[in-house]
Amino acid sequence: MPYADLEKRVLANKQWRLAHREELSKYMRTWNANNRDKVSKNKRLSIQRAKTRAFEVMGNKCNRCGITDWRVLQIDHVFADRRADKHLIGHNICHYYKKVIDPVNVGRYQLLCANCNWIKRVENKENGKPQIELLQ
């Protein structure tokens, strides 16, 4: 084996990739175009894994009412600063899920069910519009 040492192998691999950047990029574009099903499936799996991991770290239940049905659970921005993550949510949701569980961001996110999330939005006037209430 030419590189028994892992660090040397990783470095050699990185150098090779840099030296062959153009052809590697061309190869990957062609491979991706010819394997759309695999690319799509792998992307879905990556998102599923990242979401599952994020939900596990966040306790797998609503922070207010305790419901555990993952179908209604949502990641809530505690300080209603969703705009800061808009670019991640729209383009790279896996990075968003990783950011959510990053220890640097403890307390910025919480898991809420859809009902509790909407109730929180109304209570904190996070919609930015005057709330129309039902007549009593």
CA distance 80 to 124: 9
Structure tokens at 78: 């505690």
58 binds Zn ion (CB under 5 A): no
Name which of 106, 99, 71 is nearest 85 in CA terms. 99
Q: Tell me, residue by residue from 10 to 49, as one string, x for binding to Zn ion by CB under 5 A and - for no binding.
A: ----------------------------------------
Smallest separation (angstroms) from Zn ion to the CB of 115 = 6
CB closer to Zn ion out of 19 and 114: 114
Smallest separation (angstroms) from Zn ion to the CB of 111 = 9
Which 3 state secondary structure label does DSSP give 8?
A: helix
Site for Zn ion in 64-93 (CB under 5 A): 64-65
- 8 Å CB contact between 96 and 88: yes
62 binds Zn ion (CB under 5 A): yes
